[in-house]
Amino acid sequence: MSQALQSFAPRFEPSPGRRVGSRQHPPAPAFPRLTSLVSRAINAFRLLDRPAHLRRIARSRRILATLARFRGEGAGARAFAYLRTVDPHTFEEVVLSSIEAAGFVVLRNRRYTGDGGVDGRVRIPGTFCKTLAVQVKRYRSAINPSHVGDFDRAIRAGGHAGGLLVHCGRTGPLTRLALHGTPIELVSGSSLLNLLLRLRAPALVGVAHVQ
């Protein structure tokens, strides 16, 4: 059974087209910048034997710095055009780095294959071990509705509280229909730009509690 949750992160903004409930927000990290530094240290230690992976993460942070300079009319279109030149694995790290910079503890995968459809995990502030699964797709066209079902199954199999499906393509009506009743928050369009350019994480609603 699914149940609406409030946003729980620092500097949260509701995603377009999704209604945020009226219950009290779970606590956000008291020190977002410190939390971000702790997350970076955890991942640096976990990936100490993965120098190529660490270089890709470092590049992702440089890309975020470049995106932060995009201003004025057409900034969104230029940002998406730029992101589509980034290789898929680096794009995954860009998304995870932006969530980390917004004040979350992010657990990055140690490898890019065999991840069961989950590209990273985010610890929910105010909980001991609840996590959100993150899946990142660098689409050039419309998202495939079947990917929603695949990700939903991966979330439940992994025991996650919910998931973020992040993509830079288009979202068709069949995909929006597939999202109904799932613990998945879609991050695309303006909500993705808020995340990458302003480091404002998307609000989560309709998250299913794992039994």
pLDDT reading at 160 higher than 80: yes
204: pLDDT strictly greater than 50: no
CA 103, CA 205: separation in Å to the nearest integer? 19
- Structure confidence at residue 156 (pLDDT): 94
Percent of the chain with pLDDT over 70: 81
133 neighbors 169 (Cβ within 8 angstroms): no
Q: Residues 208, 162: contact at Cβ < 8 Å?
A: yes
The model's pLDDT over 162-200, given as tens digits with 9 standing for 90+, comes to: 999 999 888 889 999 999 999 999 998 888 988 898 877
Sheet holding 184-187, edge to edge: 106-108, 120-123, 131-137, 162-167, 184-187
Which pLDDT score, from 0 to 100, does residue 46 have? Answer: 95
Burial of 145 (0-12, 13-18, 19+ CB in 10 A): middle
Neighbouring-strand partners of residue 170:
142
What's the pLDDT score for residue 12? Answer: 33
User: Quick one: pLDDT at residue 125?
Assistant: 83
CA–CA gap between residue 76 and residue 64 (Å, rounded): 14
**Residue 6 in this model has a pLDDT that exceeds 60:** no
- The per-residue pLDDT for 143 is 85
Query: Which pLDDT belongs to residue 122?
Result: 93
Burial classification of residue 42, based on how many CB atoms lie within 10 Å of its CB (0-12 exposed, 13-18 middle, 19 or more buried): middle
pTM, two decimal places:
0.82
CA distance 30 to 143: 36
Q: Are 3 and 208 in contact (CB under 8 A)?
A: yes
The top-scoring range by mean pLDDT among 54-58, 74-78, 128-132, 172-176 is: 54-58
Q: What is the pLDDT of residues 104-113, one digit of tens each?
A: 999 999 988 8
pLDDT of residue 28: 57
Residue 30: band (very low, low, confident or very high) from pLDDT cuts 50, 70, 90:
low
Greatest Cα pair distance in the chain:
46
